[in-house]
Structure 1
Amino acid sequence: MENPIVYSPVDAGKIISDTAANLMKSAATSGWAKVKKYFKDFSAEESIEIGTAFNDYIRVTQERNSKIKTLIYRRVPKDIYSFYECVGLRLEGKVIKTSNVSDVLKIGKKILVTGTGGIGKSILMKHLFLSTIKETEYIPVLLELRKFNGMENKDISIYRAVYQTLSDNGFALADEYYKYSLEKGGYIILLDGFDEVNRDKLKKVQDEIKSFSDKFEKNTYIISSRPTEMFIGWNDFVETSVMPLSKKQALSLVNKIEFDESAKRAFYTELSRTLYDKYTSFASNPLLLTIMLLTFSNHASIPENLNEFYEEAFTTLFNMHDATKDCYLRDIRTGLGCEEFKTVFSYICFKSYFRGQFEFTEHQLRERIQEAQSRFPLYKFTIEDFQEDLTLSVCMLVKDGLSYRFSHRSFQEYFAALYTCKLTDDVQSKLLATWFDESISVVGDEYMAMLYNLQPDKVNKIVLCPGLKKLKELYDSMGFSVELLKELFSGVHLRRLYKLENSKRVTDYTIDFGISNRYLCNILMITCKLNHFFYSNAEGIKKSREIASTWVSEREKQDPQNRYHIEPIEFDDLMIFLDEHNFTVADFLEACKWVEARFIFSFKILEKYSENSISRKKKVSSILDEL
């Protein structure tokens, strides 16, 4: 058995933070000398003026991005290097270190960083921003993509947003200089939170990212997001996934956190002995590890499942005044009890989640609270008191400039799921079926997994089975055929895969599909995800790669300059291609066996439950208005 690591209350975080701050200061003052090569010739006077503006930009943005609020540090932003653990990126079985951005840049010019909620994507992006200042000769720009949610589609522009970020932070350039520096490849552009863009803006933001990164291809683009189907077809982007915390990293993170020393020491010891190994899925996630510390300090135990975990976390935060000090005082201005407050908050989460609101203006937040106030007239509280409790007492929301956002989206998703359980079966079925028809985030979000954990049989029976019945009817009438695939998918996409062999990137391709019937595709994917589908077919994978690689080879012959810009393939064109290259329809269906396996697995779920399909005539928005 591994010996437990001994708790040592050394302020390593302060040492690292101070060292990083000194390095950043040095980098900021010498910044212009490193990057002025990306700009057209200036006069000596212009160079001094613009150089001063650039150094101001680095100083201001470095200061802003080096501090954040967390569940522990709830009132005063904390330097990230006082507690941050550098997580790795997984790329086809290899681990890429992120402590120095230079290692990340070796992956390529266009990088996707995906990971589940709480894994640390946003803080990683801040770290990469700061590392760019310290370690490279590029200009870093960090954009939070959710800022586009407040814009009209016609006003969304990555070109303008990058310029605005530079200008707002003191580095205002004439357009000719700005464009020239982009053409020269002077930037590392970090786009954080693609999954936080509202669904009515997603297509526009996606198109903007693609066109901007194609036009100014010499720059480096790093985009963070939860996994999403929209990345299918982004063939010139390398997709990586954020690694979980190792046991050593988890212990190091706990050691760095400022918290009641006796509680932290006890938790650290138990984490080293048994808790990490027993609850790896919790302890390897920075957010959930923090919640583990909070709940352990309050209950001296850890819940067995994720739903209980969030329940205890909320209860702990509700009853705790300041986790960084040795005091636990209840300070709720509304006077509501824990269950009453949770009911109101759950309603706010429910309404905002289905409206695609992940952050609020002051006015929007007050509207949501007033809406909940009207919904629960027996609960007496003022809008002002509830707003203050959300941000200062329970810390479910964080104020960020003029906006309010959830301390983490997973809280919004859990409490939205909790409120969903209070709805009648008929309303749940209609709402979720319509949402499946409209949303592209069903699979990537944690909402459905949380709802399933709260009511597994009901989700299978009233949410999934109506759609599975429709799928079964199609399958029975068409069999597993190209005609069936046409009913669900818009065409074939080629998914680009990467492997690192001897430090060199090797490219491979496989077959995937673009979604046409969103409702049925979401039903199929969610059924398999929630009910733990697993499938492996070496022959099918081999055939898929064979067909895909042949298509890519033909594409490269026709247009070698744009070999990565592979458009989706319509089924009719695919049939012609297969025939011309000695592949049969049977070969193609063999390559797609993984799809048929999902059908067969899902039909076994259908057999367990019996329910008629429910009408889906309304929009999500109209159903919400009635609730």
Structure 2
Amino acid sequence: MEYSDFLQKFYLPDTGGGLVGYKSKRKTALFFFENGLDDGYNDSIICPSDSTFEKWVDGKRKPESAIWSEASKHLDDGKLAKKLLAVLNTRNLKNIMVSFGITFKIEEVPDRKKFSTAVAAQFVAIAEGYGIADNIVSEEYKKTPEPVGFETYLRGAENKYKWIRLPGEEECLLGDVFVCNNIGTSAAVFPHRIKGKCIENATMEKLRTYDRRGEVLRVILIGGCGYGKTLMLQHLFLEAAEHSDETGRFPIIAELRNFSSSYDGFLPFIVDTVREYDPSFTESSAIEVLEKGQAQILFDGLDELDPEEVKFFQKKLAELTHRYPNIQVIVTSRPCSAINGISGFMKLYLHPLDEDQVNSLLDKLLIRKQDAKAKKTIFSFFELGTGYVKKDGFIATNPMLLTVIVSNYEKLMEFNGDKTRFYELMYDVLIRGHDEGKEAFDRFFHSVGSREEFTQVFRAFCALTFMDGVYEFDRRIFEKYFNLIKKQEGLSNPNIFRLDGFEHDVCATACMMYEQESGIYYIDPGFQDYFFAEYYYFEDTEKTKAMGEALNRRQMKSFRNLDGLKMLNKMSPEKMEVCVFLPYLNEIFKESDETKCFMRFLACGYRDCIYVNFDEVAIKTSMVKLKANKFDYPLDSNPPKNIVMGLILDMLNLNNTFSLGAWVEPLKEENGATHFITGYLDAIEKPEGPDRTYVIKTIENGIHYKDDPDYFEDMRLMPMPIRDDRGKPVCFGYKYRVNPLSLLSDQRRTEDFIDMAKKAGLVDIFMNVKNYYNQMVERQKANDFR
């Protein structure tokens, strides 16, 4: 390759040139001498005219031997490579590289840095060959940089980071238990809600090249508590260290909780980190590897920095990446405000485990357990209805919490489904156990002075929101409850208890909640239930009784489930009986008369009761006349009036709804009927042929339309009802809604109603609740909650 051939690859005037700012022939030729030589060359020798430069490009004239001789004495390929990296035209880059004989794999991203180094080497070869040399660009481009000699550090760091300590267990090899969760371009708390592109089986090289738009050297790797940020960084470090001889890159892993303003910047911090394993490491060694772009810096735990050090960290990180633009830097962090002050970094997110990864992690963790049924047992903890948590929820797909479940699965079996103890264990791990392995580290809270104070205020937050039936929050609702707990909770330093700090603590520090789009949500609703229960466990008797009175006015549908109240009953059954159950049941069973007591039980427990009287004669007559095989008479359900009754029925394993209906002959319309019932004939099977099957389906009509002759004529969209011989719709029955206490004045109606209730099993339910009440009264004749 002659010098003119070399220059023509960059002289591309019609497409903007190969070098930004060096578009003309003169500037293209001059660029390599101005930037490829040190400052000591004799410019009187290398000073041809503009026309001579143009002839160099065209090949009509070649640089004289004296020029090449002087150039050879002052070659600086490092200087030239840096300048090339800054001015290479991205638009034409790939075409220029191809012109030098470089080939690419499908979707391979061109490496500007390696190409700049290869072109600089080519210019040196041409200069030393006095204007001619073999084309070595492709060969140089494929070369890996020579690794800097840091074998001592790598051996020491590898020996440390290849080990991990599982919660409550001895150290083990990372490779024996680590499952590499996916890394994505969008945040995800639950595996079924993942969006965007994912990186599987991540490596430093995959993080560098995942974006087809260009090389990515700066990444903030974000993940909530227990997602495995530290383990992922250890995995990335070990993989990079294993291949450092091939890549020529040198990984350095450092824990940011050890960084502070006592360091002048990151250079001495990096030196100290390496010196832990290699005392001979010097600042000049660090500068060499940083300047060559061979360093891969892995910083763990941005969220673990002292809040007062955050601004200093952000400033020094910017200085580090500005001064050494070619190094690869990975920073891990929980979601926190410190991230917002860092520019030039791509945000990537650790994802929860998918189904295959959950299975893989369980297999690895259980390999040392001598229990063939252990995996099946653990999966039973995630079964709908009977398990502790959902199988695709936060806890079951969080690597750390899943590991805790495996370590404690025998204990969880002994819990026998007790969610109180389960969430107590999970919270203890999230708030305290997660950091036990980090020496001399206590996690910073932004809104309170300690984890104990955080538990205090979060407990109150959960209790207030649970009682109001609020499980999801927009910004205004979240602030409303923050202000309520700020007024009532005594803190050692109320001045730091601010909204933004509390939001940070619940979402990032303690990881009890998470932000998504415009909302804030509990990572698992069981934590809200648990802290509601714990709040009233510690609360005084009068306030707990006030909570019970409030529950008497709350309908079942106001609550997601009964778990929170069941947890409180587990923690303190005496308190629940005295403060919640007895005040409610005392009102029901204050009557000595059994009939009145039963009717009061229904009135207090179920509001107005809905029941139906069917005309047995009219139904049988119509079925015979129309050859109907079935009469369809769905009955309305009567649900509990309030959450207390619903809880009592659930605890006693009794049906929490009932339906009432009676066949009456003859049927008489009673006062209080709300609807009359008509019906129409419908085919339900085999619509053609002799085996056709018919059913009479019922229609409810407002009682005020019963004597309205035009009502059914106006029903354009409804089936026409069955009519009698006079052409009037047949009435099959009446529907009633009554307060049971209102029936007591009419003995016959009371007897008929109780007869229906017996057939529905309602009297048996009443007797079960009454026996439970009598037992409570006997148990609670004297206790601390009176």
Query: Could you state the TM-score of these two structures normalised by the residue count of structure 1?
Result: 0.46
TM-score, with structure 2 as normaliser: 0.37
Quick check: which has more Rg, 1 or 2? 2
More helix, by proportion = 1
Higher relative CO (Cα under 8 Å, sequence separation at least 6) belongs to: 1
